[in-house]
Amino acid sequence: LDLRGRFAGDRLAVTLPAGEGVFRLTLGAVTATLDATAQGRWQIDGLGPGPHDLRLVSLGESGLAPEALPRFAVPPGAALAAPAPGRWIEVIGDSDSTGFGSRHEGRHCDPAELRAATDSTLAWPARVAAALGAGLRLRAQSGIGLVRNYANDPAPTMPVRLAADPAPPADE
């Protein structure tokens, strides 16, 4: 999940759904990590008139349904059109593509360490997109493989899942 926006007001509120992991919020030159283990609302005041560019990136995998997407609130009339990337890349992958455990230094870790060590911005798709100045559409999930799944799980592999998924909108 990688959301971007622009606004002209002096404050911002961010609401994240419960249990959806860790997010990185970048607001201009300031970066903060937001942990949404429980539903959370963060209020940032005193920003000045703007304009302000913001970016909210999920550092882990996100299975967010549209009704559970993060919410941004700015003063009335302060929302501005965010600049869209000039081009997009799409990556179909697995845990290597999602940054699963990317900051962990050993081979073994418990679930809490794994959660803390996962950072999608360090995975190769995010780094390639950033280097190209492109937007990224990542279609990947840990444990769901391109050829076979982790531990030979009989769940559908990524190609089977994608065959059932409609084509992306033309404007992506």
pLDDT tens for each residue of 13-53: 988 877 667 888 998 888 888 887 666 788 888 888 889 99
Categorize the per-residue pLDDT at 124 as very low, low, confident or very high, splitting at 50, 70 and 90.
Answer: very high
74 is written with which tokens? 């700015």
113 is written with which tokens? 């360490």
pTM over 0.85: no
Region of 69 (left: φ > 0; alpha: ψ -120 to 50; beta: rest) is beta
Mean pLDDT of 153-164: 85
Within 10 A of 29 (CB to CB), how many other CB atoms are there? 5
127 is written with which tokens? 């780094």
Distance between the two ends of the chain, CA-based, in angstroms?
Answer: 14
**How many angstroms from the chain centroid is the CA of residue 20?**
11
Categorize the per-residue pLDDT at 65 as very low, low, confident or very high, splitting at 50, 70 and 90.
Answer: low
